[in-house]
Amino acid sequence: SKSPSPRQNMPVRYFIMKSSNLQNIDISQQKGIWSTTPSNERKLNGAFWESSVVYLIFSVQGSGHFQGFARMGSAIGCDKSQDWGSAGFGGVFKVEWIRKESIPFQFAHHLLNPWNDNKKVQ
């Protein structure tokens, strides 16, 4: 029989990933990778190692929409990607896109974030 995953009983984590443009989202969807600022890396890597799964919900700043969501597929490494140019991003990590669709924030206004003063998730 197959032994259970060592992270099976650990929590699921969710993060909203804001992108400065839609081109970065397109690159991520095509190549299955993402890169974020170095200040976010420790939090995401910690969640990756301490959770059963980490979901990333993507949104382009100012769009008023979510562009889809993915599962974090690897820890963030030291290798950088030229796909995003030299925009101050850190290492690259794998993402597995689950849904690629533009969804208006208004469809999620019933979701409140208790760790952010119960503000709407957007």
Does position 116 have pLDDT exceeding 50, yes or no? yes
Average pLDDT over residues 81-108: 81
Does position 2 have pLDDT exceeding 70, yes or no? no
Q: What is the DSSP letter of 4?
A: P
Stated pTM of the model: 0.81
- pLDDT tens digit sequence for 3-21: 444 556 678 999 989 988 8
Cα 31 from chain centroid (whole Å): 15
Confidence at 109, pLDDT banded by 50, 70, 90: low
Distance CA 89, CA 70 (A): 19
- pLDDT tens digit sequence for 15-64: 989 988 899 999 999 999 999 988 899 999 999 999 999 999 999 988 88
The pLDDT value given to residue 98: 94
Q: Give whole-number Cα distances, 49 to 5, 54, 114, in Å.
A: 13, 9, 23
CATH of domain 12-120: 3.10.590.10
Alpha-carbon radius of gyration of the chain = 15
